[in-house]
Amino acid sequence: MKNLTFIVLILFSISCQSNLEKELKSTKKITVVAHRGASGYLPEHTLASKAMAHAMKADYIEQDIVLSKDDIPIVIHDILLDKVTNVSEKYPDRKREDGKYYVIDFTFEELKSLEVTERFDSETGLQIYPTRFPKGASSFRLHSLQDEIELIQGLNKSTGENIGIYPEIKKPKFHLENGKDISKIVLEILTKYGYSTKDDQCILQCFDALELERIRNQLKSELFLVQLMEFPEQKNLLQFYASYADGIGPSYKHLISSKTTSGFSFTSLVEESHNLSLVVHPYTFRKDSLEEFDSFQQMIDVVIHKAGADGGFTDFPDRMKEILETKL
């Protein structure tokens, strides 16, 4: 009888532990980052897209940052203007020898005169995502990092929300080659607006590992830093990343090793990152670009709930939040 009682107690303990693990997993905070704003609905990195992302209550809103000729941080995804503006029509003679138009060659006032549109192929002129906001419709403009921070902070005040910013330093080496220290300029602005520690609602990201390490060690930033990853082989550098960063931002594809008729199998990237206390925020969740998935819901379920990511970047923050809340 004693043995039977002991076995029952063990089984009960295992059951309780299992239920607790399930509860902890289901209540784990998942970070939803509005990728370039609510870019699935409005042209990327426009103030309209950011206001919509805020209304959708994303946890963070992303800002890609490139410097203008007069050192103003501009919110735009690329160092080039070709794929999201009418620069070739307005300034046909301002392209470089390679035939491309660079943000860094224009002053802030000149950049504000450009029309921003849905992303398109600069060779064919065709819209990249055909079902999104019509290319050339309405009127949108480029803006500065300061403009966007003031919008988000203003909306936080008027709505009572506390939505954060998630800026990315774009091409720091390119900027240095052109005599500009983009990281230093951006950090000064972030500090001015109250973003200087890990407790502030700001996560700073960059693909350039040496630059992100410089931001931590040389520029002495105490912000929450995320090392973006372009290639799966960078998994071998996790120990190095953990020496200065607080998280990684890989492609969601880096989390998946294979897909078969029986389901998905996963790499060890999330587990190894968590063992080093690194959060994992993969990119990019798009319901109009599912690739290996049958639905947007499956995409989120596989990457977040099965692979174990801590959140991620999405063009559709409302749909991602809805799916995550339904899962809970």
* Tokens 């690194």, located at residue: 278
- Confidence band of 18 (pLDDT split at 50, 70, 90): very low
Q: Which of 196, 275, 218 lies closest to 242 in space, CA to CA?
A: 275
274 is catalytic: no
Alpha helices in the chain (DSSP H): 2-26, 47-55, 87-90, 108-112, 145-159, 172-177, 182-192, 209-217, 238-242, 269-275, 296-300, 317-327
Q: How confident is the model at residue 262 (pLDDT cuts 50, 70, 90)?
A: confident
Give the pLDDT confidence score for residue 181 in this predicted structure.
Answer: 98
Annotation says 77 is catalytic: yes
pLDDT of residue 27: 52
Residues contacting residue 306 through CB under 8 Å, at least 6 positions apart: 264, 266
Predicted TM-score of the model (pTM): 0.91
Task: Please tell me the predicted confidence (pLDDT) of residue 261.
Answer: 86
Question: Pairing state of beta strands 279-280 and 247-249?
Answer: parallel
Mean pLDDT of 273-280: 98
Q: Write the pLDDT tens digit of every residue in 37-61.
A: 999 999 999 999 999 999 999 999 9
Going along the chain from its start, the domains and CATH numbers come out as 30-327 (3.20.20.190)
**Whether 9 contacts 17, CB under 8 Å:** no
Catalytic choice (35, 54, 175, 281):
35
Single out the catalytic residue among 45, 77, 143, 281: 77
Beta bridge partners of residue 222, listed in sequence order: 197
What digits encode the pLDDT tens for the residues 172-224? Answer: 999 999 999 999 999 999 999 999 999 999 999 999 999 999 999 999 999 99
In the chain, the percentage of residues whose pLDDT exceeds 70 is 91
Q: Two tokens at 35?
A: 């990728």
